[in-house]
Amino acid sequence: MGAGTVIIGTGQAGFQTAASLREQGYQEPITLIGEEPHIPYQRPPLSKGFQLGEQDFESFELRPEKFYQDHRIELIRGKRAAAIARAAKQVTLASGEQIPYEKLVLAVGARNRLLPVRGAELDGVLYLRTHDEALALKERLASAREIVVIGGGFIGLEVASVARTMGKRVTVLEALPRLMSRAVAPVVSEIYERLHTSKRVKVVCGAAVSEIPGASGRAHRVLLADGAAFRADLALVGIGVVPNVELAREAGLRVSNGIAVNEFLQTEDPCIFAIGDCAEHPCVFAGSRVRLESVQNTAEQAQCVAATIAGRQNPYRALPWFWTDQYDVKLQMAGISQGHDQIVMRGKPESLKFSVFYFREGLLAAIDSINRPVDHMMGRRLIAAGIPVSPEEAADESVDLKLLAHKGTQNGVHPPA
């Protein structure tokens, strides 16, 4: 038996690669190495059900500990990979151990982007990505009264909705002119600003945070460049992530906005792959190279890479999708709206039950659905299969998307090449 596959990273990407390898009948050794002390777990509940006490940690472990033994997956926790020796095909851990590989999968994820202002290091300034950070936030939320969320993206807004549901005073500070602006159209941002405002969250867009003043080491306020001040006994920073590219870069692999991989999720070293939040891949649905941070991207890239390693090479072609839960409103996104040149709506935004259809050069590129799960699911089929939908059909509620999706599938339309 050879050295088998070594996977660095115990997030969902790493876990799924190991699990899918065994599902595919791969018989060689599998080693899964991660820095966190916990067995692999899901991250989405950390900003949602876990904070509200609806879910405990055990309920979102991806699999129980026994799974790894049963499937002959060697799980090494609490260890950091320090270097990759490509010629020797070895990973060196910070603890000094050397682990040989035949195939190496970098599922190293991303880390929180840190807030670059004075006072950001004070007690009471929290981030949210890992289990331990989620636990710290949960403990602090219990006693905090005034919460300032820095960053009006998905994480920030989910925490805002949780904190507001718990009856806290909540302010959201977003640097850009609108909420979730990198991901959704202005109409969706507007609806979400209205939603949070209606729940008595104070939303400030165009807010340039300049300092977090404190006393005795504890954060007390958040200051903006224009002089505005917000009282805070807890500040949650959710201003995005930085992909962990250093290990790859130091090994001489190409790095851009992520570890660069081809359509097989392979770096220029054919023995090394990169997947999930850390990887930038060519995406047929975006028409460009993208780096995505989502469960869908992570799980399906892991399956794709596992198939390739197990001997059934396939290009990665999965349709991106995403969701966010805020209060009782579900936003579901299918496809990549980036670069769209036309938007049509199905349903009325004021009703909090509508979808935005994004078109690029006349083709349906993406759909954002608010409380319209049928639009989302059928949209996934339509976009993935490249079934033609006109803006007129998309906007016309009498056109049954389900019928369109079924008809299109029967006609044998093929996804974009």
Partner 1 sequence: MPKVIYVSAKGEAREIEVPVGTTVMAAALKNGIDGIVAECGGVCMCSTCHVFVDENFFRLLPPAQDTEEAVLEIAAVERQPTSRLSCQIKMTEALDGLLVRLPEKQR
Among 178, 220, 360, 380, indicate the residue that binds partner 1 (CB under 8 A).
Answer: 380
Site string for partner 1, 56-85 (x = CB under 8 A): ---xx-xxx-xx--x---------------
Q: Site residues for partner 1, window 180-239 (CB under 8 A)?
A: none
Alpha helices per DSSP H over 310-400? 373-385, 391-395
- Residue pair 25/85 in contact (Cβ under 8 Å)? The answer is no
For partner 1, the binding residue among 40, 376, 389, 393 (CB under 8 A) is: 376
Is 330 a binder of partner 1 (CB under 8 A)? yes
Cite the DSSP H helix spans in 291-398.
295-309, 373-385, 391-395
The alpha carbon of residue 33 and the mean position of all alpha carbons in its chain are separated, in whole angstroms, by 21
Question: Closest CB to partner 1 among 375 and 393?
Answer: 375
One residue of 321, 354, 357, 358 binding partner 1 per CB under 8 A: 321
For partner 1, what does the binding mask look like between residues 384 and 403, x meaning CB under 8 A? ------------------x-
Shorter beta-carbon distance to partner 1: residue 266 or 369: 369
Is 378 one of the binding residues for partner 1 (CB under 8 A)? yes
Within positions 86 to 145, which residues make up the interface with partner 1, using CB under 8 A? none
Closer to partner 1 by Cβ: residue 111 or 406: 406
Q: Pick the binder of partner 1 from 99, 259, 381, 383 (CB under 8 A).
A: 381
Q: Kind and range of the H or E element at 70?
A: helix 65-70
Among residues 108, 104, 110, the alpha carbon closest in space to that of 273 is found at 104
Backbone angles phi, psi at 170, to 5 degrees: -130, 135
What SS3 class is residue 32? strand
Distances from the Cα of 49 to the Cα of 61, 158, 171, angstroms: 14, 10, 21
Rounded CA-CA distance 50/59 in Å is: 10
Stretch (H or E) spanning 93: strand 90-93
Candidate list 85, 94, 374, 403; residue touching partner 1; CB under 8 A: 374
Question: Which residues contact partner 1 by CB under 8 A?
Answer: 23, 42, 44-45, 59-60, 62-64, 66-67, 70, 295-296, 299, 303, 321, 323, 325, 330, 332, 373-374, 376-378, 380-381, 402
